[in-house]
Amino acid sequence: VCSCFNVGVNQITAAVAAGCTSVDAIGATLKAGTNCGSCRSEIRAIIAANRVQAAE
Ligand code: FES
């Protein structure tokens, strides 16, 4: 997902499960989305998809 920091969907999914439910929280934890920013919309989509599952 994030090529700047080599962060993949599995790492982001795990971070969402651990409580990172915003793009900024993911950035604080994994650095993903904090450099060029081009992956931020993808990160947001992953958060949205996994947050729903986590809440159910
Ligand atoms: S690809 Fe994620 S910050 Fe650049």
**3 lies in some domain:** no
* Domain annotation covers residue 24: yes
Q: How open is the CA angle 39-14-12, to the nearest 5 degrees?
A: 5
What is the chain's alpha carbon radius of gyration, rounded to the nearest angstrom?
10
Q: Is 3 in the pocket of ligand 1 (CB under 6 A)?
A: yes
33 within some domain: yes
Cα angle 43-44-46, degrees, rounded to a multiple of 5: 65
| Pocket test residue of 36, 43, 46 for ligand 1, highest count of atoms within 8 A of CB | 36
pLDDT per residue of the chain (56 residues) written in tens, 0 to 9:
999 999 999 999 999 999 999 999 999 999 999 999 999 999 999 999 998 654 55
Residue 41 counted as domain residue: yes
**Phi and psi dihedrals of 37, rounded to 5?**
85, -5
Q: For residue 31, what are the domain limits?
A: 9-55
Q: Look at the chain and report how many structural domains it folds into.
A: 1
Residue among 23, 22, 1, 21 nearest 11 (CA): 1
Q: What are phi and psi of 3, to 5 degrees?
A: -80, -25
Report the separation in Å between the CA atom of 4 and the middle of ligand 1, taken as the mean of its atom positions: 4
Q: How far is the CA of 56 from the centre of ligand 1 (A)?
A: 30
